[in-house]
Structure 1
């Protein structure tokens, strides 16, 4: 019935696998758990190999890093069952009914895609507070807001989809690295007429990136966004960052020379105000660079 798919990279995913395995075994349904490591070279490989001791669970380590979109598509190709539950390796659930809640959603509705949501615990250090604040105030939104904007809040960290749908709508492998693969996937679902049902079944993130790592990931994501801006393949003008750029283009042109300063202030003070100024000016620079 359900294939649980977990991509991992330099992270001990075994506690998550063990917990999910316990819950799904109790549910007494056909299942498998597939974990694929994206060519890690640290101690997490040894830790994750413990997964093979669990029934119906496999672990594979790749010889080269293939990236976020490709590894998720690979996981889906290996899946045997009709429903695919994607979970990030660095998440956890407090709810003993996490798997049951998804099974209940499948059995009680006609939807093909379910998103459980996410939240952030009050656990972070000063050096990682920028990522925590962004997650807390930009990603961990209320159920009401998720229902009002179902496509916007599809995150690959925690969602369930019918395999027959995923076979036709996969993660876009043209995007390299971090950023906006979830958005494109949601857009493809919408373009094909599929709706997303958000349910109250959240996970929380265990790994909170340092400010430096988060800013570096953000740069990669904005490069992807600049690529999409020029490709004209997708209508990305509903993305808030793009809407802001179009609305205040003249002002953003004037403040773009201060982009490095905004980046520095983001790292130093962990304020979303400076982080937003950095993101919008960096996007302007990347769009100009690709012209």
Structure 2
């Protein structure tokens, strides 16, 4: 009935698997939980080996670091059921009805279902405040809110999808890129595939440091410029690309680059501070996409 697929890298995923395993047993469904380790450090691999002790649970390891996109492709190839539920490894369901809620959406006309993200109310240490603040303000949205712009809130870390559709949409090149959820969202959008948002959140717990998240965000900007900037109607999905295309349209590229060159260090200091301003974060990414070839 349901294959639950969890890519992991340098994270202990035991608590998540145990939680999901108990929920599946309580629902009396046919299921499997497959975890694929993307060449983590040895102690993480050793800890995650415990997954194999649970019924219908499997743990595999990549021979080298393939990246999240290719790892998800391999997981889908291993899945035996028609419906697959992707979960990030650093999450935990909001409640014990998580699997039950998704089951109600199996075998209906909707091909893709997104449950959403949440973050703990207690703030983390200042070294991780950027990722936390971004998550709380930009990702933690109700199903009603997400449904107004359904393709802007495609988060593959909590996604139920038919396996055959996933194979049609997933980017399968060997290169490693960050921020490929927007690529996946555009595939859904351009093919007019209906998506359904529900209130079935997972708590995102594995927050990166400010510096790591900042660098990943910039790599994500490059991915968007490489794969999506010239796509038809992409501005309907992504505000960053919408502003970038306006700057090009009104021939403001030189001014934008000059502003970014002058303000770059000031913006970065704020973004990596104990109280980052997300508007400055947006300005930096916009300047970055204008400046980078």
For normalisation by structure 2, the TM-score amounts to 0.91
Asked if 2 retains the 8 angstrom alpha-carbon contact of 1:39 and 1:61, the reply is: yes
Q: Determine if the alignment matches structure 1 residue 252 to structure 2 residue 253.
A: no
Question: Partner residue of 2:147?
Answer: 147
SS in 1 for 2:3: strand
Shift of 1:113: 1.0
In 2, distance between residues paired with 1:234 and 1:3? 34
Shift of 1:235: 4.7
1:225-271, Cα deviation, whole Å (9 max, x unpaired): 121256x3565333201212233462523311022331222102422
In 1, distance between residues paired with 2:167 and 2:181? 16
SS in 2 for 1:282: helix
Structure 1 residues 167-182: aligned runs within 5 Å:
167-173=167-173, 176-179=176-179, 181-182=180-181
In 1, distance between residues paired with 2:88 and 2:171? 15
Asked if 1 retains the 8 angstrom alpha-carbon contact of 2:183 and 2:228, the reply is: no
SS in 1 for 2:34: strand
Structure 1 residues 95-134: aligned runs within 5 Å:
95-106=95-106, 109-123=108-122, 124-134=124-134
Question: Partner residue of 1:66?
Answer: 66
In 2, distance between residues paired with 1:200 and 1:142? 6
Shift of 1:11: 0.4
Gaps of 5+ in 2: none
Which deviates more from structure 2 when the two are superposed, residues 275-284 or residues 258-267? 258-267
Shift of 1:94: 2.7
Question: Partner residue of 2:93?
Answer: 93
Question: Partner residue of 1:32?
Answer: 32
Asked if 1 retains the 8 angstrom alpha-carbon contact of 2:83 and 2:106, the reply is: no
CA 1:105–1:144 in structure 2 vs 1: closer, same or farther (change >3 Å)?
Answer: same
Question: Partner residue of 1:204?
Answer: 203
Aligned residues: 284
In 2, distance between residues paired with 1:3 and 1:164? 13
CA 1:172–1:184 in structure 2 vs 1: closer, same or farther (change >3 Å)?
Answer: farther
In 2, distance between residues paired with 1:29 and 1:229? 39
Q: What RMSD, in angstroms, separates the aligned Cα atoms of the two structures?
A: 1.8
SS in 1 for 2:152: coil
Asked if 2 retains the 8 angstrom alpha-carbon contact of 1:259 and 1:277, the reply is: no
CA 1:12–1:234 in structure 2 vs 1: closer, same or farther (change >3 Å)?
Answer: farther
Asked if 2 retains the 8 angstrom alpha-carbon contact of 1:116 and 1:158, the reply is: yes
Question: Partner residue of 2:241?
Answer: 242
Shift of 1:66: 0.6
